[in-house]
Amino acid sequence: MEVPLAAASAAFLTGYAVRVLARDHLPRLGVDLCVGVILGAWAVFAADYAVRLRLSGLGPFRFLRTHLLDTVVLLLPLLRPVRMVALYDRVQRRRGNPRLGLYARVMVYSGLSVSLLGFTGALTVYHHEADAPGASILTFGDSVWWTCATLATVGYGDVTPVTPIGRLTAVGLMACGLALLGAVTGSFSSWLIQTFRREDDAPGDGGTEDGTRPPGDSPGA
Amino acid sequence: MEVPLAAASAAFLTGYAVRVLARDHLPRLGVDLCVGVILGAWAVFAADYAVRLRLSGLGPFRFLRTHLLDTVVLLLPLLRPVRMVALYDRVQRRRGNPRLGLYARVMVYSGLSVSLLGFTGALTVYHHEADAPGASILTFGDSVWWTCATLATVGYGDVTPVTPIGRLTAVGLMACGLALLGAVTGSFSSWLIQTFRREDDAPGDGGTEDGTRPPGDSPGA
Amino acid sequence: MEVPLAAASAAFLTGYAVRVLARDHLPRLGVDLCVGVILGAWAVFAADYAVRLRLSGLGPFRFLRTHLLDTVVLLLPLLRPVRMVALYDRVQRRRGNPRLGLYARVMVYSGLSVSLLGFTGALTVYHHEADAPGASILTFGDSVWWTCATLATVGYGDVTPVTPIGRLTAVGLMACGLALLGAVTGSFSSWLIQTFRREDDAPGDGGTEDGTRPPGDSPGA
Amino acid sequence: MEVPLAAASAAFLTGYAVRVLARDHLPRLGVDLCVGVILGAWAVFAADYAVRLRLSGLGPFRFLRTHLLDTVVLLLPLLRPVRMVALYDRVQRRRGNPRLGLYARVMVYSGLSVSLLGFTGALTVYHHEADAPGASILTFGDSVWWTCATLATVGYGDVTPVTPIGRLTAVGLMACGLALLGAVTGSFSSWLIQTFRREDDAPGDGGTEDGTRPPGDSPGA
């Protein structure tokens, strides 16, 4: 039941990406196909949402409150692929792979989410900016560069969105992405400090060499 | 006793917003009305402050020290609407709504405060910049865009204030807003890590699916 | 023994500030006076350092390592006024003022240090930039505005230093100031979360109203 | 066994630095020498990696997962000098120097890593930008200035990379450097708060004077 949703997410993102990136080289039929894929994926999301609402036995408003993120994702389906990260986590677990440590999992999970959000944001901004008068984001490369500078809160300002939708996307990217990125860097910092602290407790000779191994490994590896 | 203050706050903010945003289209009477509303709201704030000072039984300086924020808010009444957030919290509680978890409350509270502060800051900057020579913030949209980039510490620099008052507001916005925004993103990160940790303790099948639900929900929802 | 040092610090900063800010209007004698004050204060610092080194009974290198900050401050005496903050703390305590809570003290201490560092940095940058060819920092106001944007890591880039010394100062300002500013905002966030948590434990009616009081107050105030 | 690797790292970085910084003044022979040093150092790294893989007794994929950082460092040998920091730590310990406190060690370790990463990043960006059409990073000084503004997330935007490789390096610098820098500032903040807290527990007269000494000193020093 999760698999078709993830497939629809991937189809949605692929359709949108092809539509945006190949827009000058796409024949009329290709555009129609992309739009069809996008609408089809959206229909799958809406059906899933309706089924879950029915099954939950809650009123619409209570459901909306307890599943706030699901609702937002329904309205902004470009956020949907972020949910694929949860699926990836489950697949890893089914395969019996050893679970990563807490910080490593937060880093991987948030890092993947940030990457997907960033890619989606770069697509959206490029889509709305490329043809705008006075725009400085002219290529998809510019858009990706701008997205990275925004997510890292560096914000050079050499290229910036000028259209209302581009700026709205930018604000959303700042709000969502910064918190996730904060989780990544915060986890990394915590892990670094934790590694140093563990080394403090057991200052053997062999323990120091592997100060760079990821968390979750056994100390004697 | 809180309700009239909140009403005065809303009136103050509305009066100021109408005054600033509709300044080119406002008849003489409208301007006078806005100024009247603003002054009336201010009088309410001053009266409330005086009554509290009298009731507290403290000397003016001790009162000023223990109620520092109230004093600042009296002098800069545009900060007043932030207090409405506390009222919102109380209303939620009276209605018997289930309380949100700690992190969710910090996020909602700080998020609302940041939004109000940001809106007020954008208004003030637009008010002082729009007519300044050499200004780059020409529309209210520019001002909101600039405010978002400032609060997220991205700071593109494509539009920046040039007047002394605009820059003073900007510094205040950085100082107040960044700390609040830090609380929001910090809470989100903490909650994310907490969610992962809880999942660690109880790695059941059903628990994973709702990794996206807000904190405070019962695990079996 | 601390008082003359603090006086020398204040004299040093005042002499440098007058020298920099009034340089176009200062007669020849005024310049000489400022330079005299600056050199005199520096001599006091060097004497103090020598006395402490002698009294400590340590070798110069061990003393240098355990008093690293003192050594840096001796070489860059513009950092010296930051030490005045410690004096302010002691005076507050002698007067028997009730001590602030932990977070409030960190906020006040770091906030004062950041302000002093920022003022000193703005002075230095203005001193070296104002006459440089192609400079964008032309007035002291520009310099202060640039300092605030730098300390908040916003970095608009509308005005930036172009001289080597200006840029070196900027890097120092980033390194020192950001950590201190991180302490301020981190403390504020921690205090905010702590306040919410305390409220969680004792959800009385009267406790909510004062959600805005500074830490360290008794709950029944 | 660590010493030759560290020597190779230093040789690699030196060769690359000479190649990049002196490129206009280097005779044909010098260029060949630099390239020879770089390739030789790389061969040492590859041999070391192969030996470790063989000795570990793990399959290539499991080895790759548990030694992820080593693999990345093999492919991007400019990151290699960061490993020298671990050697520095070991040398300090062999000499019997008193170990620094936890936070001080995190600060020193991360600070050194950030400096090395920053220097390497500045070299790489300067190497690819200096001749690019429309570049704003024209001297190595510009490149260092840009690196500092990037690592501090200030991002003025007065100089920015324009080539694809320069921008890729920038993104890597943001990702690696920011987390390390976050560790430095986070440790400094934690240490500051810890110092204040310790002072709270023992508010003697002598303890306050040395509020500026590095962590790890005995309180009676």
Quote the CA–CA distance of C126 and C147 in Å, as a whole number.
10
Quote the CA–CA distance of C52 and A19 in Å, as a whole number.
72
* Contacts of C among chains (3+ CB pairs under 8 A): A, B, D
A147 lies within 8 A of chain B by CB? no
Quote the CA–CA distance of C123 and D190 in Å, as a whole number.
30
pLDDT at B220 > cutoff 80: no
Asked if C155 and D158 come within 8 Å (Cβ–Cβ), the reply is: no
- Identify the pLDDT of residue D150: 92
D156 lies within 8 A of chain B by CB? yes
3-class SS string, C148-160: HHHHCCCCCCCCC
**Residue C188 near residue B183, CB atoms below 8 Å:** yes
Percent of chain A with pLDDT over 90: 19
Amino acid in the structure at residue A169: T
Return the number of CB contacts < 8 Å for A and B. Answer: 78
Q: Which residue has the higher pLDDT, A3 or A140?
A: A140
- Identify the pLDDT of residue B214: 38
pLDDT at A125 > cutoff 90: yes
pLDDT at B75 > cutoff 60: yes
Position B215 confidence tier, pLDDT thresholds 50, 70, 90: very low
Question: Model ipTM?
Answer: 0.76
B7 lies within 8 A of chain A by CB? no
∠ CA(A131), CA(A135), CA(A137), 5° rounding? 90
pLDDT at A38 > cutoff 70: yes
Quote the CA–CA distance of A113 and A183 in Å, as a whole number.
11
- Identify the pLDDT of residue A215: 37
| DSSP assignment of B125-159 | HHHHHTTSTT-S--SHHHHHHHHHHHHTT----SS
Q: How many residues does chain A have?
A: 221
Compute the nearest-CA separation of D68 from chain A (Å): 7
Residue B4 in tokens? 């009239």
Asked if D153 and C156 come within 8 Å (Cβ–Cβ), the reply is: no
Q: Which CATH number applies to A100-214?
A: 1.10.287.70
Chain B residues lying within 8 Å of A167, measured CB to CB: 141, 145, 148
Radius of gyration of chain C (CA): 21
Q: What is the pLDDT of residues A152-209, one digit of tens each?
A: 888 898 999 999 999 999 998 988 777 777 777 777 767 766 676 676 665 543 333 3
Nearest to B188 by CA among B114, B116, B101: B101
Quote the CA–CA distance of A125 and C184 in Å, as a whole number.
35
pLDDT at C27 > cutoff 60: yes
CA D46 to chain centre: 20
Q: What is the pLDDT of residues C82-123, one digit of tens each?
A: 666 667 767 777 776 665 667 777 777 788 888 888 998 999
Over range C49-58, report the average pLDDT: 84
Best mean pLDDT range from B16-20, D53-57, D163-167:
D163-167
Position B83 confidence tier, pLDDT thresholds 50, 70, 90: low
Chain B residues lying within 8 Å of D155, measured CB to CB: 154-155
pLDDT at D18 > cutoff 70: yes
Chain D residues lying within 8 Å of B157, measured CB to CB: 156-157
Mean pLDDT, rounded, of chain C: 77
Instruction: Please give the residue of chain C at the shortest CA–CA distance from D185.
Output: C179
pLDDT at B167 > cutoff 80: yes
Compute the nearest-CA separation of C146 from chain A (Å): 15
Residue A120 in tokens? 């989606």
Q: C98-221 is classed in which CATH architecture?
A: Orthogonal Bundle (1.10)
CA C219 to chain centre: 32
- Identify the pLDDT of residue A200: 63
CATH 1.10.287.70 boundaries in chain C: 98-221
Cβ density class B140-161: b for 16+ within 10 Å, e for less: bebbbbbbbbbbbbbbbbbbbb
Position C147 confidence tier, pLDDT thresholds 50, 70, 90: very high
**Residue D185 near residue C179, CB atoms below 8 Å:** yes
Over range A32-57, report the average pLDDT: 87
Mean pLDDT, rounded, of chain D: 77
- Least confident stretch, B129-143, B194-208, C180-194, D45-59: B194-208
- Identify the pLDDT of residue B207: 35
pLDDT at B105 > cutoff 50: yes
pLDDT at B188 > cutoff 90: no
pLDDT at B122 > cutoff 90: yes
Q: Which residue has the higher pLDDT, B4 or C139?
A: C139
Instruction: Please give the residue of chain B at the shortest CA–CA distance from C155.
Output: B155
pLDDT at B216 > cutoff 70: no
- Least confident stretch, C24-28, D8-12, D105-109, D200-204: D200-204
Compute the nearest-CA separation of C192 from chain B (Å): 8
CATH 1.10.287.70 boundaries in chain A: 100-214
pLDDT at A141 > cutoff 80: yes
Point out the residue among A189, A209, A217 whose CB comes nearest to the CB of D179. A189
How many other C-beta atoms lie within 10 A of the C-beta of residue B180? 24
B160 lies within 8 A of chain C by CB? yes
